[in-house]
Amino acid sequence: MELVNRFKKTYNLEWVKLELLKTAFGKKDSYMGRKDPRLVMVWYFIVSLLPWFTFNQTILIGLLVYTIVTSLVSRVSPLIIGLLTIGVISEIIYIVALVYLFGGEWAAFSSLITFTMKITIMSIASIAAFASMDPEKLSDALLSFGVPAQFSFAVSYGYRMLPILLDEYQQIILSFRLRGKAPTNGGVLKWRTIYYYSKIVVKAFYPMMLNTAKKTRTTVEALEVKGFSYSLHDKEAKKQKLSHLKLSNQDYTFLVMSIGILLAIYFLGKYYPI
């Protein structure tokens, strides 16, 4: 089937790996990425919660435009934008189909659109805020808000181990493929090929689990030598870790600007409601 061929061409493991590394380790020097992560976090919570307190479509459109512009300014990767667009479009198609099927009126359609707009604002805000932010900065912000230190450790660990894990998994899959034989005749809907690859994907996790277990032990032992689990509960260590978080002039400008824009959107909504 054509779909499967296309899938095989685009979704080979090398491509996946490169794409992932590009997204995870891409340049984070963007507009939102330079801000204090705590401020960005607060901005996200405010912008994503605001839509739920209003039914005014002007305000919602204003917020939508605002979040879209912010995400454009912070240069979000096209992969993520693409995924979101597909999501929103399918949601709208779903809505239109539902309304059409059940012979609904404009009122039902309109409130459904309002609902979709709120959800969309929320996800675009999260993309604008977090997509271009260094994961470690984000985890520092979470730590300063009181999330357990294990989580921020996990982020740093994942950030560093991702390429190694991916490499290892790819190695195992490749060796499975070297030793195996892909079916020449795919069968109906290429089910034999799909079955073959699914089996490899699952089986490759067996050696992967054992290797990772070994690696994990080494890591934890090395961490414990440095007194890791004590530092997790130590207030002084946390303070030192977070000492680099400081609000700069740039952050204040951002704060004033966001408040100004949000107020402007609300005034616009109040005097020119749709």
Partner 1 sequence: MNQLSREEYSQSQKMMIFILAMSLFGLANLFTELLPEFVLGPVEISVSYLAFIPLSLVMLFHPLYAAVGASVGEIIFGDLLLGDFGGLGELEGFIEFTLAMYIAGLLVTNLRSKKQVGIAAIVGIGIDQMLSTIVDVGKVWVGIEEVEAVPGLPESILAIEGLSFVTEMIISGVIFGLIPTLYLIPRLYGKIEPLLGIKPREGRVKASMTEWMSVRFVILAIFLTFMGMVAEFMAEMDINFAVWEPEFLEQFGDGFIWLPISAAAIVFIVAVFTAIKWLGASSNQDKKGKSA
The residue range among 62-70, 95-103, 175-183, 237-245 that interacts with partner 1, by the rule CB under 8 A, is 95-103
Q: Residue 16 interacts with partner 1 (CB under 8 A)?
A: yes
Q: Residue 131 interacts with partner 1 (CB under 8 A)?
A: yes
Residue 21 or 256: which CB sits closer to partner 1?
21
Tell me the number of residues near partner 1 by CB under 8 A: 80
Q: Which of residues 197-216 bind partner 1 (CB under 8 A)?
A: 198, 201-202, 205-206, 208-210, 212-214, 216
Instruction: By CB under 8 A, name the one of 220, 257, 263, 274 that touches partner 1.
Output: 220
Residue 216 beta carbon to partner 1: minimum distance, rounded to whole angstroms: 5
Neighbours of 155 (CB within 10 A): 18
Q: Which of residues 139-158 bind partner 1 (CB under 8 A)?
A: 146, 148, 150-151, 154-155, 157-158
Side-chain half-sphere exposure of 65, counting CA atoms within 13 A: 9
As a whole number of angstroms, the distance between CA 47 and CA 113 comes to 19
As a whole number of angstroms, the distance between CA 70 and CA 13 comes to 33
Q: Which of residues 231-250 bind partner 1 (CB under 8 A)?
A: 232-233
Where does residue 177 rank: exposed (0-12), middle (13-18), buried (19+ CB within 10 A)? Answer: middle
Residue 159 or 176: which CB sits closer to partner 1?
159
Residue 49 beta carbon to partner 1: minimum distance, rounded to whole angstroms: 8
Residue 271 token pair: 């005097």
End-to-end CA distance of the chain: 48
Residue 246 beta carbon to partner 1: minimum distance, rounded to whole angstroms: 23
> b or e along 189-209 (b: 16 or more beta carbons within 10 Å of the residue's beta carbon)?
ebeebeebbeebeeebeeebe
